[in-house]
Amino acid sequence: AVVSTQSGHYGRDGKMDILVSNVGTNPHFGPVNMCDEKTWGKIFYNNVTCSALLAAKFTPFLAQSGNGNIVFVSSVSGFCPMPFIGAYSVSKAALMSLTKALSVELASANVRVNCIAPGIIETDFSSALTSNPEILKKTLNNVPMRRVGKPDECAGAVAFLVSDDASYITGETVKMDGGIPVRF
């Protein structure tokens, strides 16, 4: 990821209130121990490193606002790895840990850092699960609400986390998955 701050100002008076990092790459479908080093590196670079670099680059602007917020988009698979997407799941667990670490480091700068962990959301990324009616039916058997989530529902959770209503919340990951039982 290449991030440049040379292009000008951010927000009002060079301040920025919100950074949302929504990255998801999974070029490997299969067992974790069958993921080659190059693919593993790509998954972690895109899903974790890019978010860390974005946060580092924009933290000064977020701190200047006096009420900065970072929200990372992880996955419910970070809580409980799902079959055949284990490498992706491990990267999303790492993103939750990044959330915890940065929340402690940035609290004194008045920057809150939180995370959402969506389940199956109606996007291109989940189309392998949602486009085939037979696969979708099997998938929804594991979702107590028996439906796929919508992107607007994720946006609503992010809007809450960056609002004044969540001003005492930092370092948390909000699971939004239709009630999928997970462990961590």
88 is catalytic: yes
**What is the secondary structure of 27-54 as a DSSP string?**
---B-GGG--HHHHHHHHIIIIIHHHHH
Q: Find the catalytic residue in 10, 45, 88, 168.
A: 88
130 near 167, Cβ under 8 Å? no
Backbone angles phi, psi at 152, to 5 degrees: -60, -30
What 150-159 contacts at long range (C-beta under 8 Å, 24+ apart), as own/partner pairs, is 150/121, 150/122, 151/121, 151/122, 151/123, 153/121, 154/73, 154/116, 154/118, 154/121, 157/116, 158/20, 158/71, 158/116
179 near 142, Cβ under 8 Å? no
Dig out the tokens for 116 from the structure. 């959402």
Taking alpha carbons only, the member of 67, 70, 27, 63 closest to residue 45 is 27
Catalytic residues: 88
